[in-house]
Homo-oligomer: A and B are copies of this chain.
Amino acid sequence: MGSLTVPHIVPTPAEDANALKKAFHGWGTDEKTLIRILGHRNANQRRNIRHTYFQLYNESLIDRLSSELSGDFGKAIILWAYDPCERDAKLAREALENSKKSVEHLKIIVEMSCASSPDHLVGVRQAYTCLFHCSLEEDIASNVSPSSLAKLLVAVVSSYRYDRDEVDSAIANSEATKLHEAIKTKQLDDDHVNWILSTRNFYQLRETFACYKTTYGNLIAQDILSCGNGKFESVLKVIICCLDSPEKHFAEVIRDSIVGFGTDEDSLTRAIVSRAEIDLMKVREEYQNLYKTSLDDAVVGDTSGDYEDFLMTLLGARN
Protein backbone atom coordinates (compact mmCIF):
# COMPACT_ATOMS: atom_id res chain seq x y z
CA MET A 1 0.00 0.00 0.00
CA GLY A 2 1.32 3.38 -1.04
CA SER A 3 1.59 6.38 1.27
CA LEU A 4 0.77 9.10 -1.28
CA THR A 5 -2.32 11.12 -0.42
CA VAL A 6 -4.43 12.71 -3.15
CA PRO A 7 -7.19 15.23 -2.32
CA HIS A 8 -10.83 14.14 -2.77
CA ILE A 9 -11.38 16.87 -5.31
CA VAL A 10 -8.38 17.20 -7.60
CA PRO A 11 -7.96 20.46 -9.55
CA THR A 12 -7.88 20.13 -13.35
CA PRO A 13 -4.42 19.69 -14.94
CA ALA A 14 -4.77 23.24 -16.33
CA GLU A 15 -5.43 24.65 -12.85
CA ASP A 16 -2.42 22.75 -11.47
CA ALA A 17 -0.19 23.82 -14.38
CA ASN A 18 -1.27 27.40 -13.88
CA ALA A 19 -0.52 27.33 -10.14
CA LEU A 20 2.91 25.81 -10.83
CA LYS A 21 3.65 28.50 -13.41
CA LYS A 22 2.78 31.16 -10.82
CA ALA A 23 5.01 29.45 -8.24
CA PHE A 24 7.97 29.86 -10.64
CA HIS A 25 7.17 33.51 -11.26
CA GLY A 26 9.22 36.41 -9.94
CA TRP A 27 12.26 36.26 -7.68
CA GLY A 28 12.68 32.92 -5.95
CA THR A 29 10.38 30.00 -6.29
CA ASP A 30 7.37 29.21 -4.15
CA GLU A 31 8.51 25.72 -3.05
CA LYS A 32 5.53 25.21 -0.75
CA THR A 33 3.17 25.39 -3.72
CA LEU A 34 5.27 22.90 -5.69
CA ILE A 35 5.09 20.47 -2.76
CA ARG A 36 1.39 21.10 -2.16
CA ILE A 37 0.56 20.29 -5.77
CA LEU A 38 3.06 17.70 -7.03
CA GLY A 39 3.39 15.99 -3.64
CA HIS A 40 -0.31 15.11 -3.77
CA ARG A 41 -0.73 13.86 -7.34
CA ASN A 42 -0.33 10.29 -8.59
CA ALA A 43 1.68 9.26 -11.68
CA ASN A 44 -1.27 9.67 -14.08
CA GLN A 45 -2.15 13.08 -12.68
CA ARG A 46 1.48 14.23 -12.88
CA ARG A 47 1.64 13.09 -16.50
CA ASN A 48 -1.46 15.11 -17.32
CA ILE A 49 0.04 18.12 -15.59
CA ARG A 50 3.30 17.77 -17.57
CA HIS A 51 1.40 17.55 -20.85
CA THR A 52 -0.91 20.44 -20.06
CA TYR A 53 1.94 22.59 -18.76
CA PHE A 54 3.79 22.06 -22.03
CA GLN A 55 0.73 22.85 -24.13
CA LEU A 56 -0.02 26.00 -22.19
CA TYR A 57 3.47 27.47 -21.79
CA ASN A 58 5.52 25.74 -24.50
CA GLU A 59 8.16 24.71 -22.00
CA SER A 60 8.92 21.42 -20.28
CA LEU A 61 7.86 21.32 -16.63
CA ILE A 62 10.88 19.16 -15.82
CA ASP A 63 13.26 21.64 -17.50
CA ARG A 64 11.68 24.48 -15.60
CA LEU A 65 11.97 22.64 -12.27
CA SER A 66 15.63 21.90 -13.11
CA SER A 67 16.40 25.54 -13.80
CA GLU A 68 14.57 26.80 -10.69
CA LEU A 69 15.68 24.29 -8.09
CA SER A 70 18.86 22.71 -6.81
CA GLY A 71 20.11 20.60 -3.92
CA ASP A 72 18.40 17.56 -2.46
CA PHE A 73 14.92 19.08 -2.65
CA GLY A 74 15.37 19.89 -6.35
CA LYS A 75 16.66 16.40 -7.12
CA ALA A 76 13.80 14.78 -5.20
CA ILE A 77 10.94 16.74 -6.74
CA ILE A 78 12.37 16.37 -10.27
CA LEU A 79 12.69 12.60 -9.83
CA TRP A 80 9.11 12.57 -8.62
CA ALA A 81 7.87 14.71 -11.52
CA TYR A 82 9.16 12.25 -14.12
CA ASP A 83 7.12 9.42 -15.54
CA PRO A 84 8.08 6.46 -13.26
CA CYS A 85 9.42 4.33 -16.13
CA GLU A 86 11.48 7.20 -17.54
CA ARG A 87 12.76 7.97 -14.04
CA ASP A 88 13.94 4.40 -13.56
CA ALA A 89 15.50 4.30 -17.04
CA LYS A 90 17.55 7.37 -16.13
CA LEU A 91 18.46 5.93 -12.73
CA ALA A 92 19.55 2.69 -14.42
CA ARG A 93 21.82 4.57 -16.82
CA GLU A 94 23.40 6.55 -13.97
CA ALA A 95 23.78 3.38 -11.91
CA LEU A 96 25.68 1.69 -14.76
CA GLU A 97 28.00 4.69 -15.05
CA ASN A 98 28.58 4.77 -11.29
CA SER A 99 28.95 1.00 -10.94
CA LYS A 100 32.55 1.29 -12.06
CA LYS A 101 33.26 3.15 -8.83
CA SER A 102 31.14 0.95 -6.58
CA VAL A 103 29.10 -2.18 -7.16
CA GLU A 104 26.59 -0.75 -4.64
CA HIS A 105 25.00 1.24 -7.46
CA LEU A 106 23.83 -1.91 -9.24
CA LYS A 107 21.35 -2.32 -6.39
CA ILE A 108 19.22 0.29 -8.17
CA ILE A 109 18.90 -1.92 -11.25
CA VAL A 110 18.08 -4.90 -9.06
CA GLU A 111 15.29 -2.93 -7.38
CA MET A 112 13.53 -2.14 -10.66
CA SER A 113 14.00 -5.74 -11.84
CA CYS A 114 13.07 -7.68 -8.73
CA ALA A 115 10.88 -5.34 -6.65
CA SER A 116 8.66 -3.91 -9.41
CA SER A 117 5.72 -5.20 -11.40
CA PRO A 118 6.55 -6.96 -14.68
CA ASP A 119 4.75 -4.22 -16.63
CA HIS A 120 6.75 -1.50 -14.91
CA LEU A 121 10.00 -3.29 -15.77
CA VAL A 122 8.98 -3.57 -19.42
CA GLY A 123 8.10 0.13 -19.36
CA VAL A 124 11.57 0.93 -18.03
CA ARG A 125 13.20 -1.08 -20.84
CA GLN A 126 11.04 0.69 -23.41
CA ALA A 127 11.91 4.11 -21.94
CA TYR A 128 15.60 3.14 -21.86
CA THR A 129 15.69 2.35 -25.59
CA CYS A 130 13.88 5.63 -26.39
CA LEU A 131 16.22 7.73 -24.25
CA PHE A 132 19.56 6.07 -24.93
CA HIS A 133 19.15 4.39 -28.33
CA CYS A 134 20.25 0.99 -27.15
CA SER A 135 18.81 -1.72 -24.94
CA LEU A 136 19.37 -1.71 -21.19
CA GLU A 137 20.66 -5.26 -21.53
CA GLU A 138 23.40 -4.38 -23.98
CA ASP A 139 24.57 -1.58 -21.68
CA ILE A 140 24.67 -4.02 -18.77
CA ALA A 141 26.58 -6.57 -20.86
CA SER A 142 29.19 -4.03 -21.87
CA ASN A 143 29.53 -2.16 -18.53
CA VAL A 144 29.33 -4.80 -15.83
CA SER A 145 32.03 -7.25 -14.85
CA PRO A 146 32.69 -10.04 -14.06
CA SER A 147 30.65 -11.57 -16.88
CA SER A 148 28.85 -13.89 -14.43
CA LEU A 149 27.45 -10.78 -12.75
CA ALA A 150 26.47 -9.21 -16.08
CA LYS A 151 24.72 -12.46 -17.01
CA LEU A 152 22.75 -12.52 -13.78
CA LEU A 153 21.70 -8.89 -14.17
CA VAL A 154 20.72 -9.30 -17.84
CA ALA A 155 18.58 -12.27 -16.78
CA VAL A 156 16.65 -10.45 -14.05
CA VAL A 157 16.28 -7.26 -16.12
CA SER A 158 14.84 -9.31 -18.99
CA SER A 159 12.27 -11.09 -16.85
CA TYR A 160 8.55 -10.88 -17.41
CA ARG A 161 7.13 -12.88 -14.50
CA TYR A 162 3.61 -14.12 -14.02
CA ASP A 163 2.12 -11.61 -11.60
CA ARG A 164 -0.32 -13.66 -9.52
CA ASP A 165 -0.15 -15.95 -6.53
CA GLU A 166 0.44 -19.32 -8.19
CA VAL A 167 2.64 -21.61 -6.12
CA ASP A 168 3.74 -25.19 -6.74
CA SER A 169 5.20 -26.68 -3.55
CA ALA A 170 6.99 -29.50 -5.36
CA ILE A 171 8.80 -26.96 -7.54
CA ALA A 172 9.62 -24.87 -4.46
CA ASN A 173 11.17 -27.92 -2.80
CA SER A 174 13.16 -29.01 -5.81
CA GLU A 175 14.40 -25.50 -6.56
CA ALA A 176 15.38 -24.91 -2.92
CA THR A 177 17.52 -28.03 -3.29
CA LYS A 178 19.03 -26.73 -6.53
CA LEU A 179 19.88 -23.42 -4.89
CA HIS A 180 21.43 -25.24 -1.93
CA GLU A 181 23.51 -27.40 -4.29
CA ALA A 182 24.80 -24.27 -6.02
CA ILE A 183 25.74 -22.70 -2.69
CA LYS A 184 27.37 -25.89 -1.36
CA THR A 185 29.48 -26.29 -4.48
CA LYS A 186 30.09 -22.52 -4.67
CA GLN A 187 28.68 -22.47 -8.21
CA LEU A 188 26.37 -19.53 -7.80
CA ASP A 189 26.67 -18.57 -11.46
CA ASP A 190 24.98 -21.81 -12.50
CA ASP A 191 22.36 -21.36 -15.25
CA HIS A 192 19.69 -22.97 -13.10
CA VAL A 193 20.18 -20.32 -10.41
CA ASN A 194 19.70 -17.66 -13.08
CA TRP A 195 16.56 -19.32 -14.40
CA ILE A 196 15.00 -19.78 -11.01
CA LEU A 197 15.57 -16.14 -10.07
CA SER A 198 14.59 -14.66 -13.42
CA THR A 199 11.63 -16.73 -14.63
CA ARG A 200 9.62 -17.70 -11.52
CA ASN A 201 6.85 -15.55 -10.10
CA PHE A 202 7.34 -13.67 -6.81
CA TYR A 203 5.05 -15.93 -4.77
CA GLN A 204 6.70 -19.08 -6.05
CA LEU A 205 10.13 -17.69 -5.16
CA ARG A 206 9.04 -16.73 -1.64
CA GLU A 207 7.84 -20.29 -1.14
CA THR A 208 11.19 -21.58 -2.46
CA PHE A 209 13.12 -19.33 -0.05
CA ALA A 210 10.87 -20.46 2.82
CA CYS A 211 11.53 -24.12 1.90
CA TYR A 212 15.23 -23.38 1.88
CA LYS A 213 15.06 -21.94 5.40
CA THR A 214 12.99 -24.87 6.70
CA THR A 215 15.18 -27.52 5.11
CA TYR A 216 18.65 -26.06 5.59
CA GLY A 217 18.21 -23.92 8.69
CA ASN A 218 19.58 -20.63 7.39
CA LEU A 219 18.22 -17.80 5.31
CA ILE A 220 19.45 -18.26 1.76
CA ALA A 221 20.74 -14.67 1.69
CA GLN A 222 23.02 -15.50 4.65
CA ASP A 223 24.31 -18.70 3.06
CA ILE A 224 25.19 -16.88 -0.15
CA LEU A 225 27.66 -14.74 1.72
CA SER A 226 29.37 -17.93 2.93
CA CYS A 227 30.41 -18.41 -0.72
CA GLY A 228 32.41 -15.19 -0.65
CA ASN A 229 31.75 -11.50 -0.44
CA GLY A 230 32.68 -10.32 -3.89
CA LYS A 231 30.60 -8.20 -6.25
CA PHE A 232 28.66 -11.19 -7.54
CA GLU A 233 27.61 -12.43 -4.10
CA SER A 234 26.61 -8.97 -2.88
CA VAL A 235 24.36 -8.34 -5.91
CA LEU A 236 22.88 -11.84 -5.69
CA LYS A 237 22.00 -11.20 -2.07
CA VAL A 238 20.20 -7.96 -3.00
CA ILE A 239 18.30 -9.82 -5.75
CA ILE A 240 17.07 -12.38 -3.24
CA CYS A 241 16.13 -9.72 -0.68
CA CYS A 242 14.16 -7.70 -3.26
CA LEU A 243 12.35 -10.81 -4.50
CA ASP A 244 11.64 -12.04 -0.98
CA SER A 245 10.48 -8.81 0.65
CA PRO A 246 10.68 -5.47 -1.18
CA GLU A 247 9.38 -3.64 1.91
CA LYS A 248 12.17 -5.06 4.07
CA HIS A 249 14.73 -4.20 1.42
CA PHE A 250 13.58 -0.59 1.22
CA ALA A 251 13.38 -0.27 5.02
CA GLU A 252 17.04 -1.30 5.05
CA VAL A 253 17.92 1.13 2.26
CA ILE A 254 16.37 3.98 4.24
CA ARG A 255 18.04 2.87 7.46
CA ASP A 256 21.47 2.62 5.76
CA SER A 257 21.00 6.06 4.22
CA ILE A 258 20.38 7.59 7.65
CA VAL A 259 22.60 5.81 10.17
CA GLY A 260 26.25 6.65 10.55
CA PHE A 261 28.02 9.85 9.68
CA GLY A 262 26.04 12.10 7.30
CA THR A 263 23.03 11.12 5.23
CA ASP A 264 23.01 9.39 1.83
CA GLU A 265 20.32 11.65 0.38
CA ASP A 266 20.29 10.00 -3.06
CA SER A 267 19.35 6.63 -1.59
CA LEU A 268 16.84 8.14 0.84
CA THR A 269 15.17 10.09 -1.96
CA ARG A 270 15.14 7.12 -4.33
CA ALA A 271 13.55 4.80 -1.78
CA ILE A 272 10.79 7.23 -0.83
CA VAL A 273 10.08 8.57 -4.33
CA SER A 274 10.01 5.15 -5.95
CA ARG A 275 7.85 3.44 -3.32
CA ALA A 276 5.41 6.24 -2.37
CA GLU A 277 2.83 4.91 -4.84
CA ILE A 278 3.58 1.24 -4.25
CA ASP A 279 4.21 0.03 -0.71
CA LEU A 280 5.63 2.82 1.45
CA MET A 281 3.07 2.11 4.20
CA LYS A 282 4.41 -1.43 4.42
CA VAL A 283 8.01 -0.15 4.32
CA ARG A 284 7.14 2.08 7.26
CA GLU A 285 5.69 -0.84 9.26
CA GLU A 286 8.70 -2.98 8.41
CA TYR A 287 11.01 -0.17 9.53
CA GLN A 288 9.23 0.00 12.89
CA ASN A 289 9.47 -3.81 13.27
CA LEU A 290 13.12 -4.00 12.34
CA TYR A 291 14.49 -0.97 14.17
CA LYS A 292 11.92 -0.32 16.93
CA THR A 293 11.76 3.30 15.91
CA SER A 294 9.60 5.31 13.57
CA LEU A 295 10.61 5.91 9.97
CA ASP A 296 8.97 9.35 10.07
CA ASP A 297 11.07 10.39 13.09
CA ALA A 298 14.20 9.13 11.38
CA VAL A 299 13.48 11.19 8.24
CA VAL A 300 12.67 14.30 10.26
CA GLY A 301 15.84 13.83 12.30
CA ASP A 302 18.09 13.65 9.25
CA THR A 303 16.56 16.15 6.82
CA SER A 304 15.38 19.73 6.94
CA GLY A 305 13.58 22.51 5.08
CA ASP A 306 11.76 21.88 1.81
CA TYR A 307 13.51 18.53 1.38
CA GLU A 308 12.12 17.31 4.70
CA ASP A 309 8.68 18.74 3.88
CA PHE A 310 8.59 17.01 0.53
CA LEU A 311 9.68 13.57 1.80
CA MET A 312 7.23 13.79 4.69
CA THR A 313 4.48 14.73 2.22
CA LEU A 314 5.24 11.63 0.14
CA LEU A 315 5.21 9.60 3.36
CA GLY A 316 1.63 10.83 3.85
CA ALA A 317 2.59 12.56 7.09
CA ARG A 318 1.97 16.15 5.99
CA ASN A 319 -0.80 17.91 4.09
Contacts and interface: CB of A to CB of B under 8 A. Distances in A.
Nearest 7 CB-CB pairings of A with B = A158-B158, A138-B199, A137-B199, A129-B162, A125-B160, A141-B195, A134-B162
Interface string A141-159: 1000001000100110011
A204 to B, nearest CB: 9
Contacts of A136: 160
Contacts of A161: 129, 135
A59 interface: no
Nearest to A195: B141
A187 B76 CA distance: 48
B195 A122 contact: no
Nearest to A168: B134
Interface of A: 118-119, 122, 125-126, 129, 133-138, 141, 147, 151, 154-155, 158-164, 166, 191-192, 195, 198-201
A-side binding surface: helix, strand, loop or mixed?
A: helix
Given A138-B200, A141-B199, A133 B166 contact: yes
B199 A154 contact: yes
Number of copies of chain A assembled together: 2
A201 B137 CA distance: 11
A137 B156 CA distance: 12
B200 A160 contact: no
Given A191-B147, A191-B151, A195-B141, A201 B135 contact: yes
B191 A162 contact: no
Contacts of A195: 137-138, 141, 154
A91 B133 CA distance: 31
A159 B134 contact: no
Nearest to A191: B151
Contact of A133 (B122, B138, B162, B199): B162
Contacts of A198: 137, 158
Contacts of A125: 160
**Residue with the highest number of chain B CB atoms closer than 10 Å, among A118, A138, A159, A192:** A138
A191 B140 CA distance: 13
